[in-house]
Amino acid sequence: MRRVSESVAAVLQPVIEGLGYSMLGAQLGQAENGHTLRIYIDTDRADGIQIEDCATVSRQLSAVLDVEDVIDAAYQLEVSSPGLDRPLFDEPHFAEQIGETIKVRMSVGVNGRRSFTGELLAVENSEAIVEVDGLDYNLPIADVEWAHLVGRI
């Protein structure tokens, strides 16, 4: 999955915020029968995101996306809560998770590797500093293909 363009996010975000939710991020990926547009939403409510919230946002976004026609391919729309494996899309998302275990896939290699799973130690100078097997790696956030928490139960 890759992040959607800023122009697509600019269409999605006001709709989501108008319904009282926040948009964590959006991804567009290839699926068996076309593409999947996955939108992650969140709320400050104590009970978090419920299935009804996802359905409400999905209905509204579907109508807006049909009119705006900002995705130039057939796609399946999915609206989701962040869940245990909370995705990390930007620098503030990384900064909120310092001390947690994360999994990161880079679009370009860092020290000869592209995949990292380890503790997020810090976020400095637009880089996530991740400890993997006793070694610290500085991962440029702009080069992150995808990242998420490693969920614990």
Model confidence pLDDT, tens digit, residues 51-109: 999 999 999 999 999 898 888 878 899 999 999 899 999 999 999 999 999 999 999 99
Please determine, for residue 132, whether its predicted confidence score (pLDDT) is greater than 90.
yes
Query: Do the domain assignments include residue 86?
Result: no
Q: What is the pTM of this model?
A: 0.84
Q: Confidence class of residue 35 from pLDDT cuts 50, 70 and 90?
A: confident
Please determine, for residue 140, whether its predicted confidence score (pLDDT) is greater than 80.
yes
- The amino acid sitting at 83 is G
If asked whether residues 9 and 36 sit together in one domain, one would say: yes
Domain closes at, from 46, 80, 114 = 80
Q: Is 111 left (phi over 0), alpha (psi -120 to 50) or beta?
A: left
CA dihedral 56→76→14→105, nearest 10 degrees, is 120
Please determine, for residue 6, whether its predicted confidence score (pLDDT) is greater than 90.
no
What the block records as the tokens of 11 is: 């269409």
If asked whether residues 76 and 11 sit together in one domain, one would say: yes
- pLDDT of res. 129: 98
Long-range contacts of 115-123 (CB under 8 A, 24+ apart): 117/150, 120/94, 122/98, 123/91, 123/94, 123/95, 123/98
Please determine, for residue 116, whether its predicted confidence score (pLDDT) is greater than 90.
yes
3-state secondary structure of 153: coil
If asked whether residues 69 and 112 sit together in one domain, one would say: no
Domain that holds residue 69: 2-80
Query: Do the domain assignments include residue 85?
Result: no
